[in-house]
Structure 1
Amino acid sequence: QGRPGQGRPGQGRPGQGRPGQRSDDRPRRRREPKPEAPWIPKTILGKKVNSGEITSLEEILEQGGRIQEAGIIKKLLPDLKTEVVDVGIIQKMTSNGQSTRFKAIVAAGNENGYLGIGQGKSKQMRIAIEKANNQALLNVSPIKLGCGSWECRCDKKHSVPFKVRGKGGSVVIEILPAPRGLGLVAGGKIRRLLELAGLKDAYTTAKGSTPTMNSTSKAVLQCLRQTFSQG
């Protein structure tokens, strides 16, 4: 038997944790991300993109093609960045009790004229983000940048070419051209969406329930899509 206060033989001292437990001083091993599987196209459009017959997203839109594979966007826009914009919890009462699901909103953009927003729901947060990421890639649209401000009148692509207006749910957002050097006059999350799209200077006005990020992101994407369709 050991001395009083030392505990039984084979046990650690008080404050040192149990035997076999990882010490706080030891560095923890980080799990390396799994390598992404190579993309195998399944649709006719995907096979054309993979073979090099189609080299731009604008060419697909002009032909009226429908993008059904996220690999098409990754192939045409390799510099695309994805960012989680908002996460939340959905609770629902069922006959078996209360069910909890997670929802995530992800934005994809290359900060040079392309933006897409997607939403995903699942019982696991990781799967919800993966669904939103895939949906954001499928919703990527080209955006026409320019300088529509009468104060600036330069030829550089730093703002929107004209005033655009979009609506998502009860949220109405307007984006107006701004002179170079002003910056983005917008809220935090709206500002980040505009940055991913490639805008550097713009005025924005928002009305409605703007804290609901789902409606706000839809309104922003509808605004920016009009620059390409109307321009």
Structure 2
Amino acid sequence: MSILSSALKIATLSQKLTFLSVSEKCVPGFVRARGLHSLVLPLPKIMGGSNLRVLNLKSSVPCPWYISQTTYSTSFFVKHTAEQLWKGVTSVSNAGKKRGRGKGVGKKTAKDLNRGQIIGVGKANIVWPGLNAPILQGKELVERRQLAPDPDREAKLIKMRDTMGQFRPLLLSPLERGWSGTKMHGRSVGPPDPIGEDNFEGFDTKILEMKTVANMDANYGRIRRFSVFAFTGNKQGLAGFALAKGADGRGALKRAKNRAGQKLLYIERFNEHTVLHDFYTRFGATQIFVFKKPEGFGLVCHRGIKAMCELIGIKDLYAKIKGSTNLQHIVKAFMLGLIRQKSHSQLAKEKGLYLVEQRSDFQNFPLVLAEPSHCRSDSEIKYDEPMNFSQVCFGDQIPYRKKPYEPFYKKLPSWENHLLKTEWRRNHGEVRRWHMREFNGLKNHLSSKYPEVDATYAFQIWQKKKAEAAAAEEED
């Protein structure tokens, strides 16, 4: 009874009381209650079916001799090895693997420790006959001897090993490296693979876009693939483009190149150097205004359009992009515009008028490009019909042109003096173009009687000689 009374006194001072049910299966004689401080009590023999409730005490008061404290000698860090602990920190769970995480974990780059090593040469700089030195030197036998220490050798080996496994940029010429260094964008990868007996001679393929795409799957997680957008052409009007994907970059490149070779289109060109006429095209949010240019102008446009023109065979062009610059949309919009071009005969037939071109390199001499079967008169043309060729080509769209910058000298008083002095010839250019358009040259009342008076007489003689030389070459 003294033990139970002391236990009850301790219970009154404790912060928390819990009860533990002891059944017949407990060891007879003593019961140890669970807790921070356990109470050990002697028990009589438990009769069948009866239970004894013992106080489990948690107290901060000093414990007497009959209260013991349980301790644990094991921990999480003692049970597992160092390798298992590091694996638990660096590895990915099964749920994470399903989501595609940790695919690069565990990949170790092997280092070639034999690199830079020479047989017979080590930390101790010693001459070994037969290994790092000849056995005989002249008529004398070479003996093993100690040389001066070489402290730089170990540092060179460590530096060489540290550089192993690092990416080395490819050494490419500036003409082969594409748009951005050693990346594949804009780089040439050769013609498509032959199909049977048909070879793609004269073709070349350029990679316009190469990126990594991912698809989320419930079973396999995040599946990553390579997406390649390629354009191929023979520089003679045949061209095609395609988009392909693959698990590896090399396979995706090959698939895109061959698929582009199977989707070829023929593009008509004017004198094999530029487009037939100005046009407006659109795909999605990408709008492109394309302008026809004379020889020698070059390609002034987006780098994607420039790569396409080089493979098609277009050498002179100006293109202005408005809106989105998505590369795939640019390619599709430009190809749609090239396909929808109208030939000169179609334009003349639809309009019922002569199609005439005036160019500054020909002194604005009118060149008839196409003529209709029946030309309409002025009375047949409606008053509100658009007669501007740019308005006919671009439709309802008008390209935005910046206001030209006014030179500083136009604000000076001397500019007014210049205008007064040149007033007598200020409209000579306009009159010259009007004469060329209406009378097919600069003529006066004596031009019919004396043809040498015509301002274009020398030009006509040059054209005549050029035609005679071409005819003579054909006869030969």
Q: Structure 1 residue 175 and structure 2 residue 293: aligned?
A: no
Give the Cα separation in 2 of the matches to 1:99 and 1:158. Answer: 45
- The TM-score, its normalising length taken from structure 2, stands at 0.31
Structure 2 counterparts to residues 57-72 of structure 1, below 5 A: 71=198
1:125 and 2:249 are equivalent in the alignment: yes
122 and 176 in structure 1: CA distance in 2 versus 1, 3 angstrom threshold: same
In structure 2, the partner of 1:222 is 336
Q: Matched residues in 2 for 1:213 and 1:105: separation?
A: 9
Please say which structure displays the higher CA radius of gyration: 2
| Structure 1 unmatched runs, 5+ | 7-12, 19-35, 41-49, 51-70, 147-155
> Secondary structure in 1 aligned to 2:226?
strand
Is there any run of 5+ residues in structure 2 with no aligned partner, and where?
1-119, 125-152, 162-191, 347-476
> Which protein is richer in strand relative to its size?
1
Give the structure 2 partner of residue 5 of structure 1: 123
Corresponding residue of 2:239? 115
Residue equivalent to 2:302: 187
CA distance in 2, matches of 1:123, 1:213: 22
Q: For residues 193-208 of structure 1, what are the structure 2 equivalents within 5 Å? A: 193-208=308-323
1:78 to 181, 201, 207: 201
Measured after TM superposition, the shift of residue 194 of structure 1 is 1.2
In structure 2, what is the equivalent of residue 135 of structure 1? Answer: 259
Q: Secondary structure at the match of 1:219?
A: helix
| Contact 1:82/1:133 (8 A) holds in 2 | yes
Residue 310 of structure 2 aligns to a residue in which SS?
helix
Cα offsets for 1:199-221 (capped at 9, x unmatched): 111121212221x2111111122
User: What's the CA shift string for 1:152-190, capped at 9, x where partnerless?
Assistant: xxxx33111112333333222232211221111202222
**Number of residue pairs the alignment of both structures matches:** 166
Shift of 1:37: 8.5
Query: In 2, Cα distance between the equivalents of 1:3 and 1:226?
Result: 74
Q: Distance in 2 between matches of 1:178 and 1:39?
A: 37
Distance in 2, matches of 1:216 and 1:200, equals: 18
- 1:227 partner SS: coil
Is the aligned partner of 1:88 residue 2:202?
Answer: no
Matches of 2:222 and 2:333, distance apart in 1: 32
Q: What RMSD in Å do the two structures reach over aligned CA positions?
A: 3.2
Higher relative contact order (CA 8 A, sep 6+): 1
* TM-score, structure 1 as length reference: 0.61
Query: Contact (CA 8 Å) 2:193, 2:258: kept in 1 or not?
Result: no
Whether the 8 Å CA contact 1:110–1:197 is kept in 2: the answer is yes
Residue 136 of structure 1 deviates from its aligned partner by: 1.0
Aligned to 2:230: 106
Q: State, as a whole percentage, how many aligned pairs show the same letter.
A: 27
Residues 97, 195 of structure 1: alpha-carbon distance in 2 compared, 3 angstrom cutoff: same
